[in-house]
Amino acid sequence: MASVACIGECMVELRQAQGGQSAGHSSGQGGGLYSRGFGGDTLNTAVYLARLEVKVDYLTALGDDALSDEMIAAWAAEGVGTRRVARLPGKLPGLYMIQVDAKGERQFFHWRDSAAARQLMNLPETDDLLNSLMSYDIVYLSAITLSIYDAAGRERLFAAIKRARLLGTRFVFDTNFRARGWPDRDVAREVFAAAFAAADIVLTSTEDLLALYPGESREQLMARIPSPELVFRLAEPVSLLRFPGGPYEVRAEPMTKPVVDTTAAGDSFAAAYIAARLAGSDPVEAAQAGHRLASLVICYSGAIIPGYAMPPKKRHRPATTRQATK
């Protein structure tokens, strides 16, 4: 059975709740109640992969606290493998808070500098974890993943991915760019260039790349990425694909329901694309699957839609045999 290793960070999420202020507490902006959950881009992708019947493990570090225990239990309940999760005594997961204004615009606040996940590349068990990447068909991570490690940690991770690719593992890089996670854009550009050079498949968007390379055309942005398989999502629901036999343009089907929340649109697209490629679909069919799932996810509030709302399972052609990178 094809398998995926998703690497990243899941944090505790405090989301502004609907309805009134908490009794006895107010601030200059009105205070309010917050609901608690969990969130993380690569974790969202891992959950959707599991729901699409892909064998997936989540690779991260957590603390030994009750919140970390809750995360582990929730991931396992979704079918996400947790055997590669390092548990660090005395540490905690990161935390972020979402506030929404009267117009529905979201603002994020983060507390993550000492989160357990940031130490994943510097643990006694790190070598074993990185060596395990060779056992997976795909290693998936995002730019957010790379932003939480220091330069030495990123170098260690890239070296392990290159070793795994020699045995046929494919590396999928998602350019999910958040400027607040990087010391400056020059560092981010350097890391992106290294990821582009190592990746077999790059999932990106105009939103991500224009933040790093402002003013460049689509053609210039795509030319920066040498990966053999590229999915370039535009501002409108359209993907430009470049792969042997391409290029192609794939348009999402028109929406029939109102958009409620765009959270995890890209994460779910990535999951459906990877699942389809592992099942034997070509990139065009995989992008169509990605658009279908993303178009469904944005009709619900939150990153993870209810299980009953998932689309019916589609049979794909058998996956091809893994081949080592030349």
Residue positions annotated with a catalytic role = 267
Instruction: State the residue for tokens 């658009």.
Output: 291
Instruction: State the residue for tokens 């779910």.
Output: 268
Give yes or no for a contact between 140 and 7, defined as CB atoms under 8 angstroms apart: yes
CA atoms 210, 165, 172, 147: torsion sign: negative
Q: Please give the Cα distance from 127 to 250 (Å, whole number).
A: 40
Q: Please give the Cα distance from 324 to 326 (Å, whole number).
A: 6
Q: Please give the Cα distance from 134 to 112 (Å, whole number).
A: 29
Q: Please give the Cα distance from 208 to 6 (Å, whole number).
A: 20
